[in-house]
Amino acid sequence: MRKLLVKGGRLIGPGQGQDEIRDLWIVGSKISSARFPEAEADETIDATGMLIMPGFVDPHVHLREPGNEEAETIATGCAAALAGGYTAVGTMPNTTPCTDAPETVERVFRAVSACTAPMLRVVAALTAGRSGRELANLEAFANDLHTRVTGFTDDGSGVQDESLARRAMEFCARHDVPYIEHCEVADLSAGGVVHPCAEADRRGLKGYPAEAEWRMIERDLRLAEETGAHVHFQHLSSARSVELIAEAKARGRAAVTAEVTPHHLTLTVEDALAGGTNFKMNPPLRAKEDRQALLAGLKDGVIDMIATDHAPHTAESKALPFAEAPNGVIGLETAAAVAWTNFVEPGILTRNEMARRMSIAPARFLRVPATETFEDGDAANLVVFDPNARWTVDAAAFKSKSRNCPFDGWAVRGRVTATVVEGEVRYRADIH
């Protein structure tokens, strides 16, 4: 079997709190406790001075294909994921056609097989055509559940009909898959494009209040407790949302998980108003107090994981006026550096906490193997990360096809130098 030597790095293993410098041997797709002569390595990665961490896992990405290949393709999105240190991603159903039938899942996996890619899981549509009017034929996915299809969502729009949401949760509970919610009460957001504030009012930009998010969380927590479903809340943005989820976890009557994005953790409505459409997303960037509550929730585990909500758009569409431009920003190639620079270096998160939030928790959620302990037989899905690398984000140099990055031009520390998926080096940075 093929042997890979990752030499001289510091292992960060959250499964057992590991933080130690040692060589790591990988035989086939597994970590090996055996020690071989260095000459026997088929490939060597010199990780001296670097961290060897569990590969990052993103439960929330948009690869756009099929139907929106002008913004991203499966090949370019997968290349971006690998460059960002991601060994697995969960793709959203916002495609054309949307992923509401097994035929579209098959189409996605054919495209994945034709490129160098991380492990991939599909999150399929809850309702037919993501219309919110009737459930998709969820039973049709039965053979793919827990393997290729890992849950259901209408991401981009919340399920407004409570009876429909209840029936969807009942299905998810029976099949032990998560009901994944884009938390937005449409009557409350009502065409809003930015967090309400005086400057938005002055510019004539309609407000999108935090209540539109937390009211749906309130409803779904009640439904989850009544149906026994695992409910997962996407891209949290508000302090009240964190409070509601903390209360639900304390009650312990339902399985509840939640994610937050790097942009909601680091930016506010002031950045959106100053920065333009590359800072426009749904839900919108909110007040400083919301950002602080999100960071506290991530630190204490109320929020389980970091997700990028990587949402590519063409430069032409993002050049439209703020109210007309599409929502969404890209983040696969910046998430690790933004997290390291803003959370780990200031001491908000430890290295192991970063690994738990970006690797272990989302891997368990997507049901993909993660390198939790670096012990014999553990899955060899890992990232080599240089914590001392200083660089300036340059969206024009990304592997992604799109450039709508709110961190463009930021000076950051920490860079992915190699990504290993199932024992195979699928990305190595061309830097020295």
Using alpha carbons, select from 194, 260, 268, 263 the residue that is nearest to residue 233: 260
- The SS3 call for residue 17 is coil
Q: Is 354 left (phi over 0), alpha (psi -120 to 50) or beta?
A: alpha
Question: Do 352 and 14 meet the contact criterion of CB atoms below 8 Å apart?
Answer: yes
| DSSP conformational letter for 253 | S
CA distances from 207 to 212, 320, 321 (A): 11, 18, 16
Q: Given the structure tokens 């969206």, which residue do they identify?
A: 395
CA distance 373 to 113: 29
* CA angle (357 as vertex; 151, 123 as ends), nearest 5: 15
Q: Which amino acid is at 164?
A: L
Q: Assess whether 309 carries a catalytic annotation.
A: yes
| DSSP conformational letter for 7 | E
**Candidate list 155, 304, 309, 378, residue with the active-site label:** 309
Using alpha carbons, select from 320, 421, 332, 317 the residue that is nearest to residue 369: 421
Indicate the angle between helix axes 211-227 and 162-175, nearest 10 degrees.
50
CA distance 51 to 389: 12
CA distance 50 to 10: 6
Instruction: Report strand pairing: 10-13 vs 179-181.
Output: unpaired
Using alpha carbons, select from 382, 387, 391 the residue that is nearest to residue 409: 391
Question: Do 85 and 383 meet the contact criterion of CB atoms below 8 Å apart?
Answer: yes
Q: Give the length of the chain.
A: 432
CA distance 19 to 12: 5
- Taking the chain, what is the end-to-end CA distance rounded to the nearest angstrom? 30
Q: Which amino acid is at 109?
A: F
Residues forming the active site: 309
